[in-house]
Amino acid sequence: MLLDGKRVLITGGTGSLGQALARRILGNEFGSPEKVIIFSRDEAKQHAMRLDHQCLQSATDEVIYHNLEKVLEFRIGDVRDYDSLASVLREVDIVFNAAALKQVPTCEYFPYEAVRTNIDGPQNIVHVIRQLGLPVETVVGISTDKACKPINVMGMTKAIQERIFITANLRAPKTRFTCVRYGNVLASRGSVIPLFQEQILAGGPVTITLKEMTRFLLSLDRAVDTVLAAATQAERGETYVPRVPSARVLDVATAMIGTREIPIRYTGIRPGEKIHEILVSEEECFRTIERDGYYVIRPILPELQRTGSEAAALTTEYSSKDSPLDQKALRSLLISAGFIAEG
């Protein structure tokens, strides 16, 4: 199996995706890894994750003493720093790059900080592997819908990350570089559902930017499924995109409010925000195929393209505005995900 006996690195491993990915990997559904290394610069989140993994409510400092001897290992470091990356990449077979600055308004106000993490970080990964000739087998870059036809700094930097990893297949040909691209993850930090839950508990108002706004509805498990599918199946330079439902944000708020008398207030679009999410652009349609329930965008570089008989899976862009769920289907989805109660 993919991860049997492998040493796995998750950069940004204390984030929502990183933690979910680590749990799934440690569950051995893709093989039994020798080591899973969580690499991030937040010692507090690492400590909380360590306690959670050991099923401890609290602990003194000794929980860290045998860190290097455990399957789940924690390393303090930053993808912005070449040397700290070099020290950990020497020891791994598979890399999941989940390190990112991902909040759209924050990136708008601090664009160069987004460049340092979202562009310099991936470039450092490629640079270390190439310069040191490391035998890393696979690198999976985690991207976003905002990288498709980008209008904000976060999307622009993630679009460049995609191209860095795709091109890396030519620069470091012994390593397979692939990407995944998906929209906002339900219930992840900074997403709309936790915000709505807090606002509803406080009695409102529930804030929505625009009535027309739509979003794809992607669970954390589905995001992890996409990452692991790309690691397992993707060819060099391919980008995996999950096929998921979408909904109007107003309908999500209405379903979560239910019969409660809670007002909705419209705040206007935020800096850099899109009205609709787009996961595959019109320009990418002709080189997008379907594979095992995913859209797969083939690489843009001719050196990485291969001949195949698969027909293009799309004739127009893949956007959240196209087929949003009706209220009944949306309510059913939110109930099954545990975000609202049945009845």
Residue pair 32/4 in contact (Cβ under 8 Å)? The answer is: yes
Alpha helices in 90-149 (DSSP H): 104-109, 111-115, 121-132
What amino acid positions are annotated as catalytic residues? 146
Distance CA 291, CA 43 (A): 39
Distance CA 19, CA 10 (A): 9
Omega into 245 within 30° of 0, i.e. cis? no
Q: Which two tokens stand for residue 40?
A: 């991030």
Crossing angle for the helix pair 220-233 and 16-26, nearest 10 degrees? 60
Nearest 5°: the CA angle 286, 287, 289 is 105
Torsion angle in degrees (nearest 10) through CA of 60, 24, 217, 142: 90
The beta strand positions in the chain, using DSSP E, are 7-11, 35-40, 72-76, 94-97, 138-144, 176-182, 206-208, 214-216, 239-242, 246-248, 264-266, 278-280, 288-291, 294-297, 318-319
With 0-12 CB in 10 A as exposed, 13-18 as middle and 19+ as buried, what is 220? Answer: buried
Q: In residues, how long is the chain? A: 343
